Amino acid sequence: MADKKMKSNGVQGGIDPQASAHNASADAIVASGATTSAGSSNNVEEDYAGAEYVVRVRDVKRTFSVGGQPVHALRGVDLDIKRGEYISIMGPSGSGKSTLFNMVGGLDKPTDGTVFIDEVDIAQLDAFELAWMRCRKIGYIFQTFNLIPVMSALENITLPMIFAGADLEEQMDKGRKLLEAVGIAHRMHNKPSQLSGGQQQRVAIARSLANDPAIILADEPTGNLDQATGKEIIELLKRLNKESGVTVITATHDDKMLNVSDRIVWIADGRVEQIKLRSEVDINVGSMHGV
């Protein structure tokens, strides 16, 4: 279903002269290892200034060995993600989408090429530094929520703060504030099993923000939720993205996610197929649905 949708977008992009130009430049990016999305191609030099990018992926290849046979999950990907951006990574299963997503989140290391997260080359980090980065720099949100079942909502949120060495008062204070921010303060002493899926995901979002990360990494955050709840969660993510300026990176099949994303990256066959700004996609989706 999502696969089909992606293809139809691709076809439309091909028809639209403006979008096809972007497609061409996206291909050029892959080929040359030059910078980022179509939209910012006129100020390439400025974009390299550094701290503006929270994630930089440079010619990343990732090869898995499955039963002695090499499988090329990523075949050379370049991607730059700006600080404060809301990015969706889309692609059919087997496209390398998950591999790229894990790479960007510091969960996997490239076979070849480099991934910089907040100016740090993740391949250089030892286990301790990786853990530190996951604790402080990246907040994870999962399709299956992944709250710790033995802990209350509040305790789930304070756990990363405990790891980060915050004192008790700070933990409680911040934990409450975060629960309020995601609109679930009244359930703070409930265990995950006593919460609905949407409520659990809200707790998970609050937890991801516990140590003021630079990036929130959301893996199919609406995959296990119904349409209406999924919409609420997407709106919450967008609001937090706007308010706190945290970079949100999602891997998704959910079309609702496109409307809030600043840019959408399509992955196919281990490469970046195309990168589009929301405005371009809006036009396409709009013309498709006749809105």
Report the interface residues with another protein, using CB under 8 A: 48-50, 56, 98, 102, 107-108, 116, 119-121, 124-125, 127-138, 140, 142-144, 146-151, 159-160, 162-165, 207, 211, 219
* Residue in the structure block whose two tokens are 């709106």: 235
Which one, 107 or 185, has the nearer CB to another protein?
A: 107
Q: How far is the CB of 53 from another protein (least distance, A)?
A: 10
Which one, 134 or 253, has the nearer CB to another protein?
A: 134
Q: How far is the CB of 123 from another protein (least distance, A)?
A: 9
262 by Cβ neighbours in 10 Å (0-12 / 13-18 / 19+) ranks as buried
- Kindly report the number of other CB atoms within 10 A of residue 144's CB atom: 13
Query: Rounded to an integer, what is the distance from CA 202 to the centroid of its chain?
Result: 16
Q: How far is the CB of 4 from another protein (least distance, A)?
A: 22
For residue 224, the SS3 value is: coil
Q: How far is the CB of 54 from another protein (least distance, A)?
A: 14
Which one, 13 or 213, has the nearer CB to another protein?
A: 213
Q: How far is the CB of 132 from another protein (least distance, A)?
A: 5
CB 272 within 8 A of CB 255: no
Token couple for 64: 């898995």
> For residue 157, what are the contacts with CB-CB under 8 A and spacing of at least 6?
175, 178, 179, 203, 206, 207, 210
Q: How far is the CB of 251 from another protein (least distance, A)?
A: 10
> For residue 207, what are the contacts with CB-CB under 8 A and spacing of at least 6?
139, 147, 156, 157, 159, 160, 178
Alpha-carbon distance of 205 to 233, in angstroms, equals 9
